[in-house]
């Protein structure tokens, strides 16, 4: 095929997909492609899709249709990622405008598909540096493992992404060093199940040694832990979080539910008592820790009393951040075979709304308690066309996930970590002034 010069890339879905989109862009850049600002200006269109739940699938399909409706015959469109891995064959028949339906991303696959065999080979031998996040160049995700060895009954991820494959500590340290050289100030560690990192490669959970290696070999000021399954969270890991100021006092720990019956049906490997003990221990061992969680409502068999158990736990733990989903039947998951009574979507919605309503109050109270305190904040972006100077975040808030800090006074540069005094608070925003 003729050499194509410009590519347009669209990444959908989670942070793990974002890392793949950045790698995919780096792959084409390494073969002298240039970035096109719009699909119209491109020779190659890349769409990295998400197929996690029904709404994500719909979003991916809508995006594909909307971008490809104006595609010209000489342009090449490559669809890859979860949705394509799962339904590529079927979708290829329904959306013939796309030229290639590839699965999960691996280095070299795009160049190979486009006929650049030798560049693909050198790319595989020496994976190119990931490009920087254009919007937030001071932040990067570090994907420490792919896939998942668990079998949660509602989740299609193991079927889509396969068994867990951890990256070696050495490779991850090298990637982190490159990102540091590129100006990254905050590194968010991600995987499907961060706490099981290394159980495949090193035969034991190895998040703590990985963190120690990252601390020793880089000077990146903020390291953040996302998606910790509530197992293998060791005392050693918590002690390290407590004593090391460069590890954000933050843990994203999706609990899904808090009724033993539901946890069993969901095939989670812990009980409500285990959860309580762990979450209290995290609060005690890591003073000031921010806890984020995600819950799943309306799973088959859920009764009002199961829901109340979840409400009670949320009330007791007082998570700083809590998000929720309503269960939808996903092909290839064992939950599809459950004989338990189905929960009407309206009932699930009412339960989720009630939980979120209470959470809003807790979040507001938690934020109000910060007023008058001096905290470190990272400056994320200039607040254009507003009374504020910057949008920033504290260690307790993950990028594009949690609350923002609106900086009312002070000057600085994007990516700087500065002292700020919190002067006002709402449920999802803090107002602050820079101090130094």
* Residues engaged in binding ligand SF4 (CB under 6 A): 148, 150, 152, 155, 157-158, 192-193, 229
Residue closer to ligand SF4 (CB basis): 155 or 238: 155
The answer to whether 383 and 389 are in contact (CB under 8 A) is yes
Q: How far is the CB of 154 from ligand SF4 (least distance, A)?
A: 7
Q: How far is the CB of 151 from ligand SF4 (least distance, A)?
A: 6
CA–CA distance, 409 with 7 (Å, rounded to integer): 40
- Taking CA atoms, 429 is separated from 167, 238, 362, 378, in Å, by 36, 28, 13, 15
Alpha helices in 116-234 (DSSP H): 117-125, 157-161, 169-181, 207-217
176: which residues sit within 8 A by CB, 6+ positions away? 142, 187, 214, 217, 218, 220
Of 29, 56, 5, 106, the closest CA to residue 325 belongs to 56
Kindly tell me which of 17 and 192 has the beta carbon lying closer to ligand SF4. Answer: 192
What is the nearest approach in angstroms of ligand SF4 to the Cβ of residue 273? Answer: 20
Q: Which two tokens stand for residue 109?
A: 């696959």
CB-hemisphere CA count at 13 Å for 274?
Answer: 15
Complex with ligand SF4: residue 48 or 153, whichever CB lies closer = 153
Nearer CB in complex with ligand SF4: 101/197: 197
CB of 192 to ligand SF4, least distance (A): 4
Residue 330 Cβ vs ligand SF4, minimum distance, rounded to whole Å: 10
CB of 15 to ligand SF4, least distance (A): 13
CA 108, chain centre distance (Å): 24
Q: Using CB atoms within 10 A of its CB, is residue 2 exposed (0-12), middle (13-18) or buried (19+)?
A: exposed
Q: Looking at beta carbons only, is 258 or 425 nearer to ligand SF4?
A: 258
**With respect to ligand SF4, which residue has the nearer C-beta, 164 or 394?**
164
Q: What angle do CA 403, 406, 408 make, to 5 degrees?
A: 165
Measured from the CB atom, the residue of 159 and 371 that comes closer to ligand SF4 is 159
- Residue 278 in contact with residue 233, Cβ under 8 Å? yes
Least separation in angstroms between residue 156's CB and ligand SF4 is: 8
Q: Write out the H or E segment, with its range, that includes residue 272.
A: helix 272-285
> In degrees, to the nearest 5, what angle opens at C-alpha 312 toward C-alphas 308 and 314?
115
- The sign of the CA dihedral 400, 405, 406, 410 is negative
Smallest distance from the beta carbon of 396 to ligand SF4, in angstroms?
Answer: 23
Nearest distance from C-beta of residue 181 to ligand SF4, angstroms: 31
Instruction: Tell me if 188 sits within 8 A of 148, measured CB to CB.
Output: no
């Amino acid at each position: 095929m003729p050499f194509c010069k410009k590519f347009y890339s669209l990444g959908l879905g989670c942070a793990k997909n974002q890392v793949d989109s950045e790698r995919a862009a780096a792959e084409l850049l390494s073969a002298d492609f240039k970035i096109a600002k719009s699909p119209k200006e491109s020779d190659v269109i890349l769409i990295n899709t998400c197929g996690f739940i029904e709404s994500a699938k719909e979003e991916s399909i809508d995006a594909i249709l909307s971008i490809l409706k104006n595609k010209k015959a000489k342009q090449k469109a490559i669809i890859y990622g979860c949705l394509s891995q799962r339904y590529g064959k079927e979708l290829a028949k329904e959306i013939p405008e796309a030229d290639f339906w590839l699965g999960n991303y691996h280095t070299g696959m795009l160049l190979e598909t486009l006929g650049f065999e030798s560049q693909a080979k050198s790319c595989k031998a020496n994976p190119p540096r990931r490009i920087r996040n254009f919007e937030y160049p001071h932040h990067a995700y570090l994907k420490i493992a792919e896939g998942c060895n668990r079998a949660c009954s509602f989740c299609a991820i193991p079927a889509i992404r396969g068994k867990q494959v951890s990256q070696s500590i050495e490779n991850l340290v090298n990637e982190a060093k490159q990102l540091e050289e590129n100006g990254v100030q905050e590194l968010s560690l991600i995987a499907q199940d961060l706490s099981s990192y290394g159980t495949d490669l090193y035969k034991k959970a190895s998040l703590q040694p990985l963190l120690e290696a990252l601390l020793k070999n880089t000077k990146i000021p903020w390291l953040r832990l996302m998606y910790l399954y509530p197992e293998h969270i060791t005392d050693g890991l918590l002690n390290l979080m407590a004593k090391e100021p460069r590890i954000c006092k933050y843990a994203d720990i999706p609990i899904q539910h808090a009724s033993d019956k539901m946890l069993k049906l969901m095939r989670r490997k812990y009980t409500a008592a285990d959860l309580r003990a762990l979450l209290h221990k995290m609060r005690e061992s890591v003073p000031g820790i921010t806890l984020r969680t995600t819950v799943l409502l309306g799973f088959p068999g859920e009764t009002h009393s199961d829901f109340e158990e979840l409400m009670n736990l949320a009330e007791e733990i007082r998570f700083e951040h809590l998000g929720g989903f309503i269960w939808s039947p996903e092909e290839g998951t064992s939950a599809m075979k459950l004989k338990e009574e189905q929960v009407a979507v309206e009932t699930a919605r009412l339960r989720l709304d009630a939980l979120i309503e209470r959470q809003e109050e807790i979040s507001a109270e938690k934020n109000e308690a910060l007023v008058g305190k001096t905290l470190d904040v990272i400056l994320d972006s200039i607040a254009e066309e507003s009374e504020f100077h910057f949008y920033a975040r504290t260690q307790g808030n993950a990028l594009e996930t949690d609350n923002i800090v609106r900086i009312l006074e002070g000057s600085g540069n994007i990516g700087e970590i500065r002292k700020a005094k919190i002067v006002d608070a709402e449920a999802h925003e803090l107002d602050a002034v820079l101090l130094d």
